[in-house]
Amino acid sequence: MTAAPTNPITVAITGVAATENPGPGIGVARSLRLWAGPQIRLVALAYDAAECLALAGELFDHVFLMPYPGQGVESTLDRLKEIHAEVPMNFLIPCLDVEIPLLLAAKAQLTEMGIDSCLPSKTAYARRNKNQLSALSEKLGISVPETIVITHPGEIIPATKKLGFPLFVKGNQYGAKKVFTLTELQNEVEASTRQWGYPILLQQAVLGTDMLLAGLGNGRGGLSCGAVALRKEHQTSQGKLWNALTVQCPWLQDAAEAFVAETEWEGPFEFECLLGDDGSAWLIEINPRFPAWIHAGTLLGVNLPACLVGRLNQQEERVPDLIPAGKWVVRSICETVLDQDPMNQLISEGKYCHAENI
């Protein structure tokens, strides 16, 4: 594991929703706290006060409310400048897909402010977009289920004739829903385009078990600090991981290594794949961030968030550790009791600070 930092550092983390659909930021923060203890100051950048109440004063030293990414680069930068003036940040780890293009656009300004981040190039980011995944997958030696990009309602029926039912309706950034009839499909397309607009992707439904891999690209075509792979055993009603088993899956590892080599990916990523009962392997998505289950890897000896911050902090990289296969990863919930009321402060002032850190 990367050695703990010897200098005090402050890391800002997004995607900190502590709800039934947890954001990756929680796992990232837990991993960093486990790695560096009080030597690291953690700043949560949240979009919704209610979503991060449980973390206020527990895991994070500071919580700040941010404008939603849809409000644009300027709005995000202005808020980051305000926060930075109050709590100077060394590093920023974005944990939501939609933030990556925003931060890529603001990279120069962030560097000028002294905030470093680990982001892929614009080209690499675009190549793993869902509507370009088929082209990329050919280079990675793994298949993508047949996918048709829809830019107009008139293209729906011809696509269904090719794909048949059931199929998945996917937004280019977020969301995936399985539909079984034309009516269901048309309703879902309408709902999805209302929220995200076109294009919409229609994808052949492939049966199989979810196989997931989290990794960290070093920007030079290799992986940093190894990778963590899981087989999803049980999921929540929202399709989120509940229980999983660690695996050492050669085709998944090979595809991930081919991905970082092909795109020279820099920063965290997650491979979402399916393993068919007949042994066939399918690539479903490549997410440009850590997954919400990343802390499981840390508990098993591969702390990828620490590795990322260690790289940004110019620390020496260690030889990758190997995750043992056959370990159960179980997600559970717990209650938290707080002495202070973080909600009022968060809503009225846009920030919450643990009493000891004021």
Select from 86-94, 178-186, 242-250, 290-298 the region that touches another protein (CB under 8 A). Answer: 242-250
Q: If binding is defined by CB under 8 A, does position 273 make contact with another protein?
A: no
Q: If binding is defined by CB under 8 A, does position 279 make contact with another protein?
A: yes
Which of 211, 216, 284, 292 lies at the binding interface for another protein (CB under 8 A)?
A: 211
Q: If binding is defined by CB under 8 A, does position 248 make contact with another protein?
A: yes
The DSSP element (H or E) to which 42 belongs, if any, is: strand 40-46
Question: How many Å from the N-terminal Cα to the C-terminal Cα in the chain?
Answer: 32
**From CA 31, how far away is CA 228, in angstroms rounded?**
14
Q: If binding is defined by CB under 8 A, does position 235 make contact with another protein?
A: no
**From CA 289, how far away is CA 317, in angstroms rounded?**
20
Nearer to another protein, 118 or 213 (CB): 213
**Matching residue, tokens 């931060």:** 103
Q: If binding is defined by CB under 8 A, does position 245 make contact with another protein?
A: yes
Nearer to another protein, 40 or 275 (CB): 275
Which of 275, 284, 286, 302 lies at the binding interface for another protein (CB under 8 A)?
A: 275
CB of 143 to another protein, least distance (A): 17
Contact 123, 43 (CB under 8 A): no
Question: 157: burial class by Cβ within 10 Å (0-12, 13-18, 19+)?
Answer: exposed
- What DSSP state is assigned to residue 210? E
Which of 231, 318, 331, 354 lies at the binding interface for another protein (CB under 8 A)?
A: 231
| Coil, strand or helix at 93 | strand
Contact 217, 264 (CB under 8 A): yes
Q: If binding is defined by CB under 8 A, does position 42 make contact with another protein?
A: no
Q: If binding is defined by CB under 8 A, does position 280 make contact with another protein?
A: no
Q: If binding is defined by CB under 8 A, does position 347 make contact with another protein?
A: no
Nearer to another protein, 231 or 240 (CB): 231
Beta bridge partners of 178: 168
Q: Residues 302-331 vs another protein: string with x where CB under 8 A?
A: -----------------------xx-----
Beta bridge partners of 169: 177, 202
Which of 250, 316, 319, 335 lies at the binding interface for another protein (CB under 8 A)?
A: 250
Q: Count the residues of the shown chain that bind another protein, applying the rule CB under 8 A.
A: 15
CB of 290 to another protein, least distance (A): 21
CB of 270 to another protein, least distance (A): 17
Strands annotated E in 81-191: 91-93, 116-117, 147-150, 167-171, 176-179
Q: Which of 42, 44, 23, 43 is nearest to 33 (CA)?
A: 42
**From CA 170, how far away is CA 192, in angstroms rounded?**
8
Select from 76-84, 166-174, 217-225, 240-248 the region that touches another protein (CB under 8 A). Answer: 240-248
Nearer to another protein, 140 or 244 (CB): 244
Q: If binding is defined by CB under 8 A, does position 249 make contact with another protein?
A: yes
Sign of the dihedral through C-alpha 230, 232, 234, 239: positive
Nearer to another protein, 115 or 212 (CB): 212
Nearer to another protein, 329 or 353 (CB): 329
**Matching residue, tokens 């080209």:** 123
| Coil, strand or helix at 84 | helix
Nearer to another protein, 137 or 246 (CB): 246
Nearer to another protein, 281 or 294 (CB): 281
Exposure string (b/e) for 81-113, b if CB count within 10 Å is 16 or more?
Answer: eebbeebebbbbbbbbbbbbbbbbebeebbeeb
Binding site for another protein (CB under 8 A): 209, 211, 230-231, 233, 245-250, 275, 279, 325-326
